[in-house]
Chains A and B, each alone.
Chain A
Amino acid sequence: MVIRVRINGRTFEHDVEPRMLLVHYIRQKARLTGTHIGCDTGNCGACTILVDGKAVKSCMMLAAQADGRELLTIEGLAREDGLHPLQQAFIEKFAIQCGYCTPGMIMSAYALLGSTPVPSEHQIREALEGNLCMCTGYQQIVDAIEAASAAAGAGAGGSHGR
Chain B
Amino acid sequence: MDVRTPARDADDVLLTREWVGKAVPRREDSRHVQGRARYVDDLDMDTAHVAFVRSPHAHARITRIDTARAEALPGVFAVITGRDIAANTNPVAPRGITAPVVQYVMAVEKVRYVGEPVVAVAAATQYVAEDAAGRVEVEYEALPPVVEIEDAVAANAPLVFEEAGSNVLLHDKFEHGDVEGAFRGADLVVEETFRIPRFSSTPLEPWAMIVRHDPGNDSFAVWSNDQQPGRTAINVARTLRVPIDTIRFIIPDSGGGFGIKLAVWPYIVILCVLARRAARPVRWIQTRSEHLLAGSHTPDALIDAALALKRDGTILAIRVQSKENDGSFVHTAGIYPLIKFAVIVGCYGIRATSFEFRSVATNKAPTVQNRGVGKPAMIFVLERLVDLAARALAIDPVEMRFRNFVPPARMPYTTPTGEVYESGDYPECLRRALALAGYDEWKAKRVELRKAGRYVGIGVATGIEPGTSNLGYYYISRGRPDFLGNVEGAMVGVDFDGGINVLTGSVDSGQGHATTVAQIVADMLAIHPERVSMNTHFDSGMSPFAPHSGTYANRFNDVEVGAVIAATKKLRAKMLRIAAFVLGVHERSLVFHDGTIHVEGDPAKGIPFQEVAAYAYKKALLLPDDIEPGLREIAYYQNRAAKVPRREEFNIQLTHSNAAHVVVAEVDVATGFVTLLKYVIVHDCGRQLNPGIVEGMVIGSTVHGIGASLFEEFVYSPEGQLLTGTFMDYLKPVALTVPRFELGEMESPCPTSPLGTKAVGEGGAITSLPAIANAVEDALAPFGVTVRSLPITPEKTLRALQHSKVI
Binding site for B on A (CB under 8 A): 17, 19-20, 24, 27, 31-41, 43-44, 46, 73-75, 77-78, 83, 86-87, 90-92, 94, 96-103, 106, 121, 124-126, 128-142
Please tell me if the beta carbons of B29 and A100 are within 8 angstroms of each other in the complex.
no
Please tell me if the beta carbons of B734 and A34 are within 8 angstroms of each other in the complex.
no
Whole-angstrom CA separation of A101 from B734 in the bound complex? 12
Contact partner of B735 among A90, A99, A135, A138, CB < 8 A? Answer: A138
CB neighbours (8 Å) of A86 from chain B are 33
Please tell me if the beta carbons of A141 and B735 are within 8 angstroms of each other in the complex.
yes
Whole-angstrom CA separation of A121 from B740 in the bound complex? 10
Please tell me if the beta carbons of B255 and A132 are within 8 angstroms of each other in the complex.
no
Please tell me if the beta carbons of A92 and B736 are within 8 angstroms of each other in the complex.
no
Whole-angstrom CA separation of A31 from B741 in the bound complex? 39
Please tell me if the beta carbons of A129 and B41 are within 8 angstroms of each other in the complex.
no
B interface residues, tally (CB under 8 Å): 62
Mark the stretch among B233-241, B270-278, B509-517, B751-759 that contacts chain A: B509-517
A-B contact pairs, 22 of them (CB 8 A): A19-B127, A34-B34, A34-B37, A35-B35, A41-B288, A77-B34, A83-B34, A91-B29, A91-B33, A94-B695, A94-B696, A96-B28, A96-B510, A97-B256, A126-B735, A133-B735, A134-B204, A135-B696, A136-B699, A138-B703, A138-B738, A139-B741
Whole-angstrom CA separation of A69 from B86 in the bound complex? 51
Please tell me if the beta carbons of A134 and B34 are within 8 angstroms of each other in the complex.
no
CB neighbours (8 Å) of B26 from chain A are 91, 94, 96
Residue of A with least CB distance to B701: A137
Binary interface profile of B, 316-330, with partner A (CB < 8 Å = 1, else 0)? 000000000000000
Please tell me if the beta carbons of A135 and B36 are within 8 angstroms of each other in the complex.
no
Using A36-B205, A39-B726, A128-B736 as known contacts, list a sample of 18 further A-B pairs with CB atoms less than 8 Å apart, ordered by residue number in A: A31-B44, A33-B38, A33-B42, A39-B727, A40-B287, A40-B288, A41-B726, A91-B30, A94-B23, A96-B28, A96-B29, A97-B256, A98-B254, A98-B256, A124-B735, A134-B202, A134-B258, A137-B733
Residue of B with least CB distance to A102: B32
Whole-angstrom CA separation of A91 from B32 in the bound complex? 9
Please tell me if the beta carbons of B205 and A100 are within 8 angstroms of each other in the complex.
yes
Whole-angstrom CA separation of A27 from B37 in the bound complex? 13
Please tell me if the beta carbons of B727 and A91 are within 8 angstroms of each other in the complex.
no
CB neighbours (8 Å) of B35 from chain A are 32-35, 73-75, 103
Whole-angstrom CA separation of A142 from B699 in the bound complex? 13
Interface centre among A17, A90, A136, A142 (most CB of B within 10 A): A136
Tell yes or no: B481 within 8 A of A by CB. Answer: no
Please tell me if the beta carbons of B735 and A125 are within 8 angstroms of each other in the complex.
yes
Residue of A with least CB distance to B43: A33
Whole-angstrom CA separation of A72 from B696 in the bound complex? 29
Interface centre among A34, A39, A91, A106 (most CB of B within 10 A): A39
Please tell me if the beta carbons of B734 and A132 are within 8 angstroms of each other in the complex.
yes
> Could you tell me the distance in whole angstroms from the C-beta of B678 to the nearest C-beta in chain A?
14
Contact partner of A100 among B39, B127, B695, B728, CB < 8 A? Answer: B39
Please tell me if the beta carbons of B734 and A100 are within 8 angstroms of each other in the complex.
no
Contact partner of A137 among B692, B693, B738, CB < 8 A? Answer: B738
> Could you tell me the distance in whole angstroms from the C-beta of B656 to the nearest C-beta in chain A?
23
Whole-angstrom CA separation of A103 from B35 in the bound complex? 6
> Could you tell me the distance in whole angstroms from the C-beta of A139 to the nearest C-beta in chain B?
5
Tell yes or no: B25 within 8 A of A by CB. Answer: yes
CB neighbours (8 Å) of A87 from chain B are 33-34
> Could you tell me the distance in whole angstroms from the C-beta of A102 to the nearest C-beta in chain B?
5
Tell yes or no: B367 within 8 A of A by CB. Answer: no
Within 8 A of A (CB), among B35-71: 35-39, 41-42, 44
CB neighbours (8 Å) of B688 from chain A are none
Please tell me if the beta carbons of A106 and B33 are within 8 angstroms of each other in the complex.
yes
CB neighbours (8 Å) of B206 from chain A are 38
CB neighbours (8 Å) of A40 from chain B are 287-289, 726
Please tell me if the beta carbons of B702 and A137 are within 8 angstroms of each other in the complex.
yes
Residue of A with least CB distance to B255: A100
Whole-angstrom CA separation of A135 from B511 in the bound complex? 9
Tell yes or no: B21 within 8 A of A by CB. Answer: no
Contact partner of A97 among B38, B700, B734, CB < 8 A? Answer: B700
Binary interface profile of B, 667-703, with partner A (CB < 8 Å = 1, else 0)? 0000000000000000000000000110111011111
Please tell me if the beta carbons of B33 and A102 are within 8 angstroms of each other in the complex.
yes
> Could you tell me the distance in whole angstroms from the C-beta of A34 to the nearest C-beta in chain B?
2
Whole-angstrom CA separation of A124 from B126 in the bound complex? 36
Please tell me if the beta carbons of A92 and B25 are within 8 angstroms of each other in the complex.
yes
CB neighbours (8 Å) of B630 from chain A are none
CB neighbours (8 Å) of B41 from chain A are 27, 33, 37
Interface centre among A100, A124, A134, A141 (most CB of B within 10 A): A134
Q: Assuming A33-B42, A128-B735, A132-B732, is B256 touching A100 (CB within 8 A)? A: yes
Whole-angstrom CA separation of A83 from B30 in the bound complex? 9
Tell yes or no: B203 within 8 A of A by CB. Answer: yes
Within 8 A of A (CB), among B711-754: 726-728, 732-736, 738, 740-741
Tell yes or no: B425 within 8 A of A by CB. Answer: no
CB neighbours (8 Å) of B509 from chain A are 98
CB neighbours (8 Å) of B23 from chain A are 94
CB neighbours (8 Å) of B289 from chain A are 40
CB neighbours (8 Å) of B728 from chain A are 41, 43
Please tell me if the beta carbons of B512 and A97 are within 8 angstroms of each other in the complex.
yes
Whole-angstrom CA separation of A33 from B738 in the bound complex? 30
Please tell me if the beta carbons of B696 and A97 are within 8 angstroms of each other in the complex.
yes
CB neighbours (8 Å) of B288 from chain A are 38-41, 44
Q: Assuming A36-B39, A134-B204, A137-B700, is B33 touching A90 (CB within 8 A)? A: yes
Residue of A with least CB distance to B31: A99
Please tell me if the beta carbons of B693 and A94 are within 8 angstroms of each other in the complex.
yes
Tell yes or no: B201 within 8 A of A by CB. Answer: yes
CB neighbours (8 Å) of A38 from chain B are 204-206, 255, 288
> Could you tell me the distance in whole angstroms from the C-beta of A12 to the nearest C-beta in chain B?
16
Residue of A with least CB distance to B743: A139
Interface centre among B206, B285, B703, B764 (most CB of A within 10 A): B703
CB neighbours (8 Å) of B702 from chain A are 137
Please tell me if the beta carbons of A135 and B256 are within 8 angstroms of each other in the complex.
yes
Whole-angstrom CA separation of A46 from B258 in the bound complex? 18
CB neighbours (8 Å) of B256 from chain A are 97-98, 100, 134-135
Residue of A with least CB distance to B42: A33
- In order of increasing CB-CB distance, the 3 nearest A-B pairs are A34-B35, A100-B255, A98-B510
Whole-angstrom CA separation of A83 from B31 in the bound complex? 11
Contact partner of B727 among A36, A43, A138, CB < 8 A? Answer: A43
Please tell me if the beta carbons of B32 and A99 are within 8 angstroms of each other in the complex.
yes
Residue of B with least CB distance to A101: B204
Residue of B with least CB distance to A130: B734
Please tell me if the beta carbons of B204 and A96 are within 8 angstroms of each other in the complex.
no
> Could you tell me the distance in whole angstroms from the C-beta of B115 to the nearest C-beta in chain A?
14
CB neighbours (8 Å) of B32 from chain A are 90, 96, 99, 102-103
Residue of A with least CB distance to B25: A91
Please tell me if the beta carbons of A96 and B736 are within 8 angstroms of each other in the complex.
no
Whole-angstrom CA separation of A94 from B285 in the bound complex? 28
Contact partner of B700 among A32, A74, A135, A142, CB < 8 A? Answer: A135
Please tell me if the beta carbons of B736 and A134 are within 8 angstroms of each other in the complex.
no
Contact partner of B510 among A27, A46, A99, A129, CB < 8 A? Answer: A99
Interface centre among A36, A97, A136 (most CB of B within 10 A): A97
CB neighbours (8 Å) of A140 from chain B are 695-696, 699
Please tell me if the beta carbons of A134 and B726 are within 8 angstroms of each other in the complex.
no
Q: Assuming A91-B29, A99-B32, is B699 touching A137 (CB within 8 A)? A: yes
Please tell me if the beta carbons of B33 and A134 are within 8 angstroms of each other in the complex.
no
Whole-angstrom CA separation of A74 from B288 in the bound complex? 22
Binary interface profile of B, 198-211, with partner A (CB < 8 Å = 1, else 0)? 00011111100000
CB neighbours (8 Å) of A125 from chain B are 734-736
Tell yes or no: B387 within 8 A of A by CB. Answer: no
Whole-angstrom CA separation of A139 from B586 in the bound complex? 53
Whole-angstrom CA separation of A155 from B395 in the bound complex? 57
Within 8 A of A (CB), among B391-419: none
CB neighbours (8 Å) of A33 from chain B are 35, 38-39, 41-42
Whole-angstrom CA separation of A9 from B498 in the bound complex? 41
Tell yes or no: B300 within 8 A of A by CB. Answer: no
